[in-house]
Structure 1
Amino acid sequence: MEDVLVSSLEEVLENVKQFNKDLQHETDIVQQLTQFKHWYYISDLQAFGPSKYIGYKDMNTIKYARGKGKTGIDTEKVLKQWFVKLPKESIRSQELMSELEKLLEQHGKKVRRDAVIHVLKEEGGMK
């Protein structure tokens, strides 16, 4: 079955919720946390989701299948419509990176050194 990219922000939000449920239930996705480079933060949900997971329709850990056949290049393109990448040196980026580190630490994982954070465009105003 072909993986289909998300076509609405609602689908992205559902995927972020599902990703965080999968984390809480300690599904297989926990083993892959250190692999994700592009993290998306939704302040309404106060939750993160990685690009390669949240960029495909109706995602869950089983469907994610350790990223098999999925590429961040495709998801980055589609997520760009709604999100903006924060400059690493921005205060907002550093605050969110700290939050992300805490989240991953709960699962005994570390954030990739080259990880970047994206936020919704309407929140992307530089601080």
Structure 2
Amino acid sequence: MEWKFWRRNKTDTAGGPGAHMSKLPGPKELPQAIGQYLVTTGKQDPDWVWSLRCVIRPREGERTFVDFRVFSPVQAGTRGVRITHFQSLDDLPELILFQGVLDKTNNQVRLHKGAPDLAA
């Protein structure tokens, strides 16, 4: 029996197989580059875009790139779903409005079309 409950095991803290050993960040407001891309290039309504939230995950072996998923907190709340990190949306692809890769060095956004799997 493990009595030292305050010590962490070196297991996955993100909650899924193949996840990083570090904890994934929770939902946040859209980064400026993603919001601007959706409004200018994607021709989306600015008021709607800036009401959305984003979850990110760092890419393994690449320090400047992060995968992102954009979702509506209103839709998630209506369905009674709590989004806590990037992998929370793995089983809920219908809640993913936009997904892609953000290059943090030059703020370039690349959207993925189709399936929510970002393993590519």
TM-score (norm: length of structure 1): 0.23
TM-score (norm: length of structure 2): 0.24
